[in-house]
Chains A and B, each alone.
Chain A
Amino acid sequence: MNLTKLFNKNYFIQNLKKSKTLLGITILAVPVLTVLVLINLYLTDACNIDYEETTKAFNIVNILGMYIIPVAISQILFGYIFKRKSIDFIGSMPINRRNIFLTNIIGGILLILLIQILTFIAALTTLTILNNTIINIKMLIDSLILGVVSYIFVFSATSIGMAISGNLITQIVVTLLVLFLVPFTTDAISGFDTYEEVEFVQSGMENVSVSTEELKDYTMPYNYFRTFIYENIMFTNSIIIKMLILSVIYMFIAYFLFKKRKMENTEEGISNTLVHFLIKGLTLVPMIAVVVVVDAPIKTMILLFAIIFVYYYIYDIFTNKRVKLKIEIPIFILTSVVLFGTLYFVKTLNEKSVEEYARADIKSIGIVELENYYNRDNFLTLEEINYEITDEKVLDIFYNGLITGRSSSSQEYLIGDYIFVKINFKNGKEIFTDACLEKNSYNKILEYVANDEEYINNLNKDLTIENTNDYSIIYDNQKLTGKDKEEIINLINKSIKNNYRERNTYSENYYGIKIIDCFYYKNHRLYNLRVPVNISDELQEYTMSLSNKITLEVLTKLENKKENKEDVYYNVLEYKPEETGYTYYEMIYDRNGNLLNFIKNADLTVSKENAYYEILINISGENYYRYWFYTNAIEDFIEAIGGENILMNNEVFTEDLNTDDLNLITSTVETYPESIENTAEPVIENTIKTNN
């Protein structure tokens, strides 16, 4: 095949040359802004600790760009089509429509590749220079894939808009319809639910409903619009394939429309009256879908319809610069009634379609996660585990033990335990759900899986943390490296392996157990695995001194920025070797700013053999920071922060920890006694500890 027949290089280059400024902005915007975002992350000290923030932020420009850059590229390449003068000029050149279209489409894809590769290189270089250890090459490659596919997808949608529109505004309207009409309407009709409800029929009792939570299978432009910015997951393979297939289909449609396009209709929105009303009518679908979904009083409904009518009126002013009110009003009323009726009918059908299942409908269950040892958001972690429980007795236990779904009150903790489970039904349906089982059933299932070698092997295979750069270990706000990292990883892997068999030992040996954050990026998403591990005194001492070192650096930096000392206060925990609890003090103000001097001169090493303070340094103001400092020099600390006058508020209670009440203590000091008292199970925070 002669490639020059598909791609006219001369035309492409000349076409780009004519829009040098816009082209420059379009090509450089994403890479340059991405670099600026990364530098900003570096300046806010988040780039090496705050995984969630960093992984969201590094990609945000690329995500926002997917809504703008393809439109700009389309304007550069096909912009001539919206001006009569340029149509005469370009149309008469020795290049036919087929080659104009193919050259511009291939050229557009090349530009997208160029932008994405530049962004990739710019991000990689910046991250290397800034010594960022969060964003790894896998994330960058995923960002590259996401950018390339999403941009091409949006670009293909803009091509349809271009082919049937006479001006830029109409092109944008049609593009938005192509991108959003189907997913938005579907989403609206299902009430914008994140969850899919499935009900289980239990004899003599109310139905038990469970909810499933998955990344909806919408294309990424809609998914990002829907969730604003992704939650840990960048994309799924199926969505990428879907977007690629749709891109090809859209390009074929655009090609056909472009070949048949009546160039004489340029500068008019859409010249064909029927098509014009069809397009305008379609723009009403999402709005009326919202009206159908909102359970609003009649006055609000009337107001919404009035707003939609105003839109219907001004639409023509923007797209065609003229309005024929006598025609518009009856068509608007007719369209609204038809759409409202149709969508209401569909919604009603949809409401009735909550699926009900009985015990006999369940084919098997796969245990994804027990309890909350792992981050709830990551329950798809073990999606790949090819393990199914088909034992009818176990399935009976599971089914009869179901209490209720995620939406119920926290009181469920008192009578049940959560289990993330994959349920396979005999009709082929497969759901992932966070179900609550009554404790007896839960324990029986626990016992079953704990003794099932196949399950343990599968679990270990999928969840073994490796001592590689792909896995980052955060302990007490510090990122561990070298031998410390290796030791912690061993502890984590051991903890995972013994998770079920030794579960009860945690409650007996809670003291010394720490929650370790393990971040890793796999299957296009960031996982934050929170694993409780027994930690040695030596390692604790090491990490405490590491904390001290970092805190010293941070406070020195903050002092240079002249932070208001009024905004600095401490919480202090006092540990004594002979006691199993700690003494808790709160809200101690360092108005004189003496702490830094103390820290500067303090010994950064800490011994657990002697009493020591864990000082939680809270710095509020424009931003909020938390840092930790550990010291055995108790008297020096008291003296440093002002002596007896403002010394610790001894009226604050002293908590003597009781193993019967608590299973775990998190190193974040988030578990205040008031909340602990009311909760049978500890709450493990998912939040990152710094830079809120």
Chain B
Amino acid sequence: MIEIRNLSKSYGKKKVLDKLNCNIKTGSIYGLIGANGAGKSTLLRIINDVFKRDEGTVLIDDVEIEDNEELKQRLVFVPDDLYFFPGYTLKEMAKFYEAMYKKFDMKYLEELAKILKLDLNVKIQNFSKGMKRQCSLICAIATNADYMFFDETFDGLDPVVRNLMKKILAKQMETKTTTIIMTSHNLRELEDICDNLGLLYKGGILFESEVDTLKTNIFKVQISLKDDFSEKDFEKLNILNFKKTGSVATMIVKGEKGEYEDYLKEKHPLILDFLTLTLEEIFIYEMEVLGYEFNEVI
């Protein structure tokens, strides 16, 4: 488990992280979302001991990460801006990882490279941008680290590769207790991968929840009643948003579906449809509740 307490970091006079608190459960895929400059990369760099924090603590399985080589063996970080040694092939890069990580599995890397059709002996500089990302990802995965940090690494991968990567990660999490933390400024990139989501805004976690909870607790309901009606007729529901066009109303309702389904059926509606929301729509409505404009935040 990763526990972050009162973490602060400034670049000169600009405060990037401000007393940030966060818990990331072991064995989950945690998606960290935020606008550009929100501090996502800074947070990952501090967790990985690349940058020094100004204050606060970062505990991984109750151990402080700063200057802790043993603990860093259990962490791997793939930054947004990828780096490969000049002129190196994937094989050579893998050897570097192998030299640094005790649990690095070269055979597994070769297997992954085969799946992704990456030639081990071609210089990485000759690969496309997407292939370079795949190289970084499989090198990181082959380290068998307990905690993997991917900074916008999935952004820009084509759907086929993305799907493959998802499967690889899923397999990884099945066989080993791996925790994955990934960031993106695009919610769509994370919604189908992550178990948990955190929204980083102004140096702190503004909103945090399990994806399943989000998806099963909030619905879009289209309803039409025989008589005229308004929002007040549904006062037992937790309505985040209500819009009525003609005789049909569209509501965003938060709560257990079973409970309010019965409640709505009791009103003998002419039309009653339950629609699933995209994660982005859920975030928009949740932000509105908190008093933020979604576009400001992401």
Contact = CB atoms under 8 A, between A and B. Distances in A.
Interface string B63-76: 00001111011011
Contacts of B82: 85
B69 A91 contact: no
Given A11-B99, A11-B100, A92 B75 contact: yes
B81 A84 contact: yes
Interface in B8-65: 11-12, 42, 45, 48-52
Among B49, B86, B88, chain A packs the most CB atoms within 10 A around the CB of B49
Among B73, B82, B86, B99, chain A packs the most CB atoms within 10 A around the CB of B99
B48 A92 contact: yes
A18 B99 CA distance: 13
Nearest to B99: A10
Interface stretch (A94-102, A153-161, A184-192, A352-360): A94-102
A110 B126 CA distance: 34
A322 to B, nearest CB: 15
B72 A93 contact: yes
Contacts of B72: 92-96
Contacts of A325: none
Interface in A359-377: none
B101 A94 contact: yes
Contacts of A93: 72, 100
Contacts of A89: 79, 83
A553 B92 CA distance: 58
Interface string A84-123: 1111110111111111000000000000000000000000
Contacts of B51: 91, 262-264
Contact of A14 (B67, B77, B96): B96
B264 to A, nearest CB: 51
Given A84-B81, A96-B68, A13 B50 contact: no
Contacts of B100: 10-11, 14, 93-95
Contacts of A85: 79, 81-83
A152 to B, nearest CB: 26
Contacts of A336: none
A271 interface: yes
Contact of B49 (A13, A96, A262): A96
B229 interface: no
A92 B83 contact: no
B242 interface: no
Contacts of A97: 67
B51 to A, nearest CB: 6
Interface residues of A, number: 27
Contacts of B85: 17-18
A106 B11 CA distance: 32
A94 B67 CA distance: 9
Interface in B64-117: 67-70, 72-73, 75-77, 79, 81-83, 85-86, 88, 92, 95-96, 99-101
A95 B69 CA distance: 5
Contacts of B76: 92
B143 to A, nearest CB: 9
A264 B16 CA distance: 12
Given A85-B81, A263-B51, A264-B11, A18 B45 contact: no
Given A14-B96, A18-B86, A264-B51, A94 B69 contact: yes
Contacts of B73: 94
Contact of A271 (B12, B45, B70, B88): B12
B159 to A, nearest CB: 27
A92 B79 contact: yes
Contacts of A262: 51-52
A100 B92 CA distance: 21
A91 B96 contact: no
Given A14-B99, A84-B81, 12 more contacts: A11-B99, A83-B83, A88-B50, A92-B72, A92-B76, A93-B100, A94-B72, A95-B69, A96-B49, A96-B72, A99-B69, A263-B51
24 contacts: A14-B95, A14-B96, A17-B96, A18-B85, A86-B83, A88-B45, A88-B50, A88-B79, A89-B79, A89-B83, A91-B51, A92-B49, A92-B50, A93-B72, A94-B69, A94-B72, A94-B101, A95-B69, A95-B72, A95-B100, A96-B69, A97-B67, A264-B11, A264-B42
Interface of B: 11-12, 42, 45, 48-52, 67-70, 72-73, 75-77, 79, 81-83, 85-86, 88, 92, 95-96, 99-101, 149
Instruction: List 10 tightest A-B contacts by C-beta distance, closest first.
Output: A91-B50, A92-B77, A85-B83, A88-B79, A94-B72, A89-B83, A18-B85, A10-B99, A92-B48, A94-B73
